[in-house]
């Protein structure tokens, strides 16, 4: 009889005395949680196509309903074999025509196997195979994901994994006990064990899983922040090229930017060194000059290399045609962005960790592909923001003839377009008036929509102007550029982003794919390239509410994940240690309460003794709190006295220069970290203050680096004059 017992009939053998159904159900739900966590981690990475994602989700839901007892689905072995044969024939077609690559075709194959196993899993071997698939899903997501969502799903995966393996062991033990009961061994003990394990099984095992997960997170959290990331650069060799936004290359098809605006993914974060948001700017990428009726592109030609000196790229210092103001900001581009640098105003200096940049035909700036780093780009820019409506300070040089001809080029057009351009610009006598007239007509006579065309049209520009009369920014910018050219005004289309949204929780401005934008730059004689934006505002773009606040909260969490997890290195390790030390010092203040209770006991024994201790303690606290400041003030005072006598040290010159910078910051002028003192003195607008800063900087260089002690008293006199300026 014993020889006839088999253990392959069901998931855990044919139960002679069935184990508690709650244990088996707990195991299956936990395993389903593992699979769902890995699945959503891959989906949120953005690498799984929607058909595969939807089919896998349907299989997960079907398995959930089956496990819950709502449905009963049995798939025959013949049906599984037929599906496998069909997919074997589909795989070459997927590789050659649909996915067009080995990696995506293989991903489809793996998920097909996962779907089949989800629907048909019945045996112990099937469940082991599902555990392996769940682990492979999470491993793939670990290589592909860069957001905090992966951490949340990783924690869920760990929780379900603990529950799956622990409940699996319980069910396996019950299986052995049931078999022993069938064979007549230890029957009483077996029955007692099987029955006693049912009460509160899910609650107790679930609580155990949560407690074990908390212990794992606590133990590994210390190691996580103690050990800096060292494998991120190596992992990029195994990660496929991330999806990049289209529309920011040397060719843009009408409709590309409309597709980009359908996404809400964060593309870049910007922080102003002045400490406020940058809400009224355009983030310029590149400009496109040639149009064939459906595509904007630049003529072929090599980009101009621009080399950096010690990480600083100098572009156009001091070239200002109109009044304006300087702007310093830092940009962090996410992986999804292209290799194009986006900037506001006219960049004068850029600090970036790349030996050179490339200037494109449309005055865009790119990082050569070989210098791109995994995780995006970070760079700091010092720009000049001109007031394009202000009075010209210096007349712009005439546009070269070949450049003018390039920006007047037109493809074969619908004859109604030039007529419409003349009608809109009627009554305008100058190029500026013509451009403003076209801009105003397009903004007021046409509507904004993100709804894409249902089918391709022969002439998208004519369809926009005369049939549909609504569209997104590409159509408005293209229409104005083409109509300006029909009037003899050189113009080009510019691609980039709108200003974005300031996040007060982080102090950074977040720019999303939905902020993608295109506008027009027209050459106005005597004024140069002038920006025009003919696109009307999006009627639904200003909606605020709970969703908007939630998106800012999620963005703050993603920034924390990027800064303190993905980009955690030795430098950030030092910053974290300093912050922990400061927090520890603040926590030490709690000891004062314990000290106070001790003093109360001492005062009960002898008031005089307690007062003495209290006075000593108060003096010690005052010295601890104020002593470092007093010592610093005394050292600064001694340095000033030495400097006034011409006997100062080099460090005294640094103190004087920092005092000048503090005074300038009080007046709203902040020195960017990447500018040398001499460069900073040259960028301050001409004034009495700029003259004094220049003289003090020259004296500082003589004193600090030339070791000329007589320059120190001159620095003190100049500093007094700066502080006395109104």
Tens digits of residue pLDDT in 326-364: 889 999 887 655 678 899 888 889 998 888 888 888 888
Average pLDDT for 230-240: 45
pLDDT given for residue 190 in this prediction? 40
480 within domain boundaries = yes
First to last CA, the chain: 106
227 or 293: which leads in pLDDT: 293
pLDDT given for residue 243 in this prediction? 41
Q: How far apart are CA 407 and CA 488, in angstroms?
A: 10
Q: How far apart are CA 543 and CA 65, in angstroms?
A: 38
Q: How far apart are CA 194 and CA 395, in angstroms?
A: 93
Please name the residue ranges forming H helices in 261-330: none
Whether 430 and 478 have beta carbons less than 8 Å apart is answered as no
Q: How far apart are CA 322 and CA 270, in angstroms?
A: 25
The number of folded domains in the chain is 3
Average pLDDT for 197-215: 71
Q: Please give the helix or strand (H or E) that residue 655 lies within, else none.
A: helix 650-666
> Quick one: angle between helices 607-644 and 591-605, nearest 10?
130
Question: Among residues of the chain, what percentage have pLDDT more than 70?
Answer: 68
Average pLDDT for 102-127: 82
Q: How far apart are CA 278 and CA 557, in angstroms?
A: 21
pLDDT given for residue 220 in this prediction? 64
Chain segment 450-479, per-residue pLDDT in tens: 777 777 788 889 999 999 898 888 899 999
Note down the domain range covering 171: 2-226
Whether 477 and 534 have beta carbons less than 8 Å apart is answered as yes
573 within domain boundaries = no
Pick the closest to residue 347 from 666, 672, 662 (CA basis). 672
601 within domain boundaries = no
Whether 511 and 269 have beta carbons less than 8 Å apart is answered as yes
Binned at pLDDT 50, 70 and 90, residue 232 comes out as: very low
Q: How far apart are CA 103 and CA 95, in angstroms?
A: 9
464 within domain boundaries = yes
pLDDT given for residue 487 in this prediction? 95
Residues 154 and 45 in one domain: yes
Residues 217 and 267 in one domain: no
Q: At 17, give phi and psi (nearest 5°).
A: -120, 105
342 within domain boundaries = yes
Measured over the CA atoms of residue 589, residue 590, residue 596 and residue 598, the dihedral's sign is negative
Q: Judge whether residue 488 has pLDDT over 90.
A: yes
SS3 state of residue 379: strand
Binned at pLDDT 50, 70 and 90, residue 180 comes out as: low
Q: How far apart are CA 474 and CA 453, in angstroms?
A: 13
Residues 395 and 505 in one domain: yes
Measured over the CA atoms of residue 536, residue 555, residue 331 and residue 255, the dihedral's sign is negative
Q: How far apart are CA 274 and CA 327, in angstroms?
A: 8
Q: How far apart are CA 170 and CA 502, in angstroms?
A: 53
Q: How far apart are CA 340 and CA 352, in angstroms?
A: 13
- Taking the CA atoms of residue 162, residue 168, residue 173 and residue 179 in that order, the dihedral angle to the nearest 10 degrees is 180
Residues 400 and 274 in one domain: yes
Taking the whole predicted model, whether its pTM rises above 0.75 is answered as no
Q: Among residues 494, 524, 556, which one ends one of the domains?
A: 556
Measured over the CA atoms of residue 260, residue 266, residue 271 and residue 275, the dihedral's sign is positive
Whether 559 and 551 have beta carbons less than 8 Å apart is answered as no
Please name the residue ranges forming H helices in 446-569: 460-462, 473-486, 546-561
241 within domain boundaries = no
Whether 663 and 682 have beta carbons less than 8 Å apart is answered as no
SS3 state of residue 510: strand
Average pLDDT for 303-309: 85
84 or 638: which leads in pLDDT: 84
> In Å, how far are 255, 320, 375, 380, 612 from 571, measured between CA atoms?
43, 38, 17, 18, 46
Please name the residue ranges forming H helices in 512-606: 546-561, 570-587, 591-605
Residues 431 and 349 in one domain: yes
pLDDT given for residue 172 in this prediction? 79
Binned at pLDDT 50, 70 and 90, residue 227 comes out as: low
Q: Among residues 556, 591, 614, which one ends one of the domains?
A: 556
> In Å, how far are 6, 42, 359, 546, 687 from 393, measured between CA atoms?
95, 56, 26, 47, 17
Mean pLDDT of the chain: 76
Q: Judge whether residue 182 has pLDDT over 60.
A: no
Binned at pLDDT 50, 70 and 90, residue 722 comes out as: confident
Residues 222 and 157 in one domain: yes
Report for 215-229, 267-281, 532-546, 581-595: range of highest mean pLDDT: 267-281
Residues 268 and 177 in one domain: no
Say which range, 276-285, 587-596, 647-656, has the weakest mean pLDDT: 587-596
Binned at pLDDT 50, 70 and 90, residue 189 comes out as: very low
Measured over the CA atoms of residue 633, residue 635, residue 641 and residue 643, the dihedral's sign is negative
Pick the closest to residue 330 from 358, 357, 308, 353 (CA basis). 353
Residue 441 CB neighbours (<10 A)? 19
Chain segment 267-296, per-residue pLDDT in tens: 888 888 877 777 778 899 888 999 988 888
Q: Judge whether residue 543 has pLDDT over 90.
A: no
Residues 145 and 294 in one domain: no
Q: Among residues 556, 580, 595, which one ends one of the domains?
A: 556
339 within domain boundaries = yes
Sheet with 340-341, strands from edge to edge, namely 304-307, 356-359, 365-366, 340-341
Residue 375 CB neighbours (<10 A)? 18
Residues 222 and 316 in one domain: no
Report for 41-45, 146-150, 424-428, 524-528: range of highest mean pLDDT: 424-428
213 or 610: which leads in pLDDT: 213
pLDDT given for residue 197 in this prediction? 46
SS3 state of residue 309: strand
How many Cα atoms are found within 13 Å in the side-chain-facing hemisphere of 560? 12
Average pLDDT for 648-661: 77
pLDDT given for residue 537 in this prediction? 82
649 or 518: which leads in pLDDT: 518
Question: Among residues of the chain, what percentage have pLDDT more than 90?
Answer: 13
pLDDT given for residue 199 in this prediction? 54
> Quick one: angle between helices 570-587 and 201-226, nearest 10?
110
Residues 275 and 177 in one domain: no
Q: Judge whether residue 206 has pLDDT over 80.
A: no
Q: Judge whether residue 9 has pLDDT over 80.
A: no
Say which range, 19-23, 29-33, 60-64, 300-304, has the weakest mean pLDDT: 19-23
Residues 294 and 195 in one domain: no
Tell me, rounded to whole angstroms, the distance of Cα 181 from its chain centroid: 60
pLDDT given for residue 462 in this prediction? 92
Please name the residue ranges forming H helices in 588-649: 591-605, 607-644
SS3 state of residue 133: helix
- Label residues 403-438 b or e (16+ Cβ within 10 Å = b): eeebbbeeeebbeebbebbeebbeeeeebbebbebb
Residues 381 and 506 in one domain: yes
- Label residues 157-172 b or e (16+ Cβ within 10 Å = b): bbbbbbbbbbbbebbe
- Residue 278, C-beta contacts closer than 8 angstroms, at least 6 positions apart: 270, 272, 327, 329, 344, 499, 502, 509
363 within domain boundaries = yes
> In Å, how far are 435, 439, 467, 472, 475 from 481, measured between CA atoms?
9, 10, 19, 15, 10
pLDDT given for residue 705 in this prediction? 80
């Amino acid at each position: 009889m014993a020889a006839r017992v088999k253990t392959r009939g069901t998931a855990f053998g044919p139960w002679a005395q069935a184990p508690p159904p709650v244990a088996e159900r707990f195991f299956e739900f936990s395993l389903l949680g593992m699979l769902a966590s890995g699945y959503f981690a891959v989906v949120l990475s953005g690498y799984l196509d929607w058909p595969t994602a939807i089919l896998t989700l349907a299989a997960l839901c079907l398995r959930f309903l089956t496990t819950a007892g709502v449905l009963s689905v049995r798939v025959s072995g013949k049906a599984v074999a037929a599906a496998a044969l069909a997919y074997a024939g589909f795989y070459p077609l997927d590789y050659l025509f649909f996915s067009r690559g080995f990696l995506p075709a293989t991903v489809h194959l793996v998920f097909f196997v996962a779907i089949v196993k989800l629907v048909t899993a019945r045996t112990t071997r099937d469940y082991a195979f599902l555990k392996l698939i769940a682990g492979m899903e999470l491993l793939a997501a670990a290589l592909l994901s860069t957001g905090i969502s992966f951490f949340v799903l990783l924690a869920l995966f760990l929780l379900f994994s603990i529950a799956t393996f622990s409940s699996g062991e319980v069910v396996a033990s019950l299986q052995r006990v049931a078999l022993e009961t069938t064979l007549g061994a230890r029957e009483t003990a077996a029955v007692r064990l099987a029955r006693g394990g049912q009460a509160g099984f899910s609650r107790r095992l679930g609580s155990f899983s949560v407690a074990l997960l908390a212990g794992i997170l606590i133990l590994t959290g210390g190691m996580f922040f103690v050990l800096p990331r060292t494998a991120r650069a190596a992992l990029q060799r195994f990660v496929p090229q991330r999806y990049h936004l289209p529309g920011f290359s040397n060719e843009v098809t009408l409709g590309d930017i409309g597709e980009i605006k359908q996404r809400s993914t964060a593309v870049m974060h910007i922080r102003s060194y002045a400490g406020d948001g940058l809400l009224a700017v355009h983030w310029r990428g590149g400009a496109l000059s040639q149009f064939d009726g459906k595509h904007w592109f630049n003529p072929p030609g090599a980009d101009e290399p621009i080399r950096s000196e010690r990480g600083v790229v100098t572009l156009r210092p001091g070239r200002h045609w109109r009044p304006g103001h300087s702007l310093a900001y830092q940009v962090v581009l996410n992986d999804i962005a292209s290799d194009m640098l986006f900037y506001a105003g006219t960049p004068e200096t850029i600090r970036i960790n790349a030996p050179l940049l490339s200037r494109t035909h449309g005055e865009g700036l790119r990082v050569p592909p070989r210098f791109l780093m995994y995780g995006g780009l970070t760079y700091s820019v010092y720009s000049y923001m001109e007031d394009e409506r202000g009075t010209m300070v210096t007349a712009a040089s005439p546009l070269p003839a070949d450049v003018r001809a390039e920006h007047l080029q037109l493809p074969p057009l619908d004859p109604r377009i030039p007529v419409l351009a003349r009608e809109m610009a009627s009554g305008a006598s100058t190029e500026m008036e013509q451009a403003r007239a076209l801009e105003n007509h397009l903004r007021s006579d046409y509507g904004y929509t993100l709804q894409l065309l249902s089918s391709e049209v022969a002439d998208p520009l004519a369809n926009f102007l005369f049939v549909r009369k609504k569209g997104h920014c590409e159509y408005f910018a293209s229409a104005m550029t083409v109509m300006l050219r029909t009037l003899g005004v050189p113009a080009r289309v510019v691609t980039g982003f709108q200003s974005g949204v300031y996040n007060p929780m982080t102090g950074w401005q977040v720019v999303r794919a939905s902020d993608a934008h295109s506008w027009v730059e027209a050459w106005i004689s005597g004024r140069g390239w002038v920006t025009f934006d003919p696109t009307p505002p999006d009627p639904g773009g200003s909606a605020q509410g709970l969703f908007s606040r939630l998106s800012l909260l999620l963005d703050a969490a993603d920034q924390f994940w990027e800064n303190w997890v993905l980009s955690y290195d030795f430098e950030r390790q030092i910053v974290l240690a300093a912050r922990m030390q400061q927090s520890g010092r603040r926590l030490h203040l709690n000891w004062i309460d314990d000290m106070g209770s001790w003093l109360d006991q001492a005062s009960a024994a002898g008031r005089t003794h307690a007062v003495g201790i209290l006075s000593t303690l108060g003096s010690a606290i005052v010295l601890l709190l104020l002593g470092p400041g007093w010592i610093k003030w005394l050292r600064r005072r001694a340095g000033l006295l030495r400097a006034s006598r011409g006997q100062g040290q080099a460090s005294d010159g640094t103190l004087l220069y920092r005092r000048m910078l503090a005074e300038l910051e009080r007046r709203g002028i902040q020195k960017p970290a990447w500018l040398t003192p001499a460069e900073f003195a040259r960028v301050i607008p001409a004034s009495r203050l700029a003259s004094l800063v220049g003289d003090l900087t020259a004296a500082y260089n003589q004193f600090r680096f030339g070791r000329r002690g007589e320059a120190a008293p001159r620095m003190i006199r100049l500093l007094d004059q700066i502080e006395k300026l109104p």
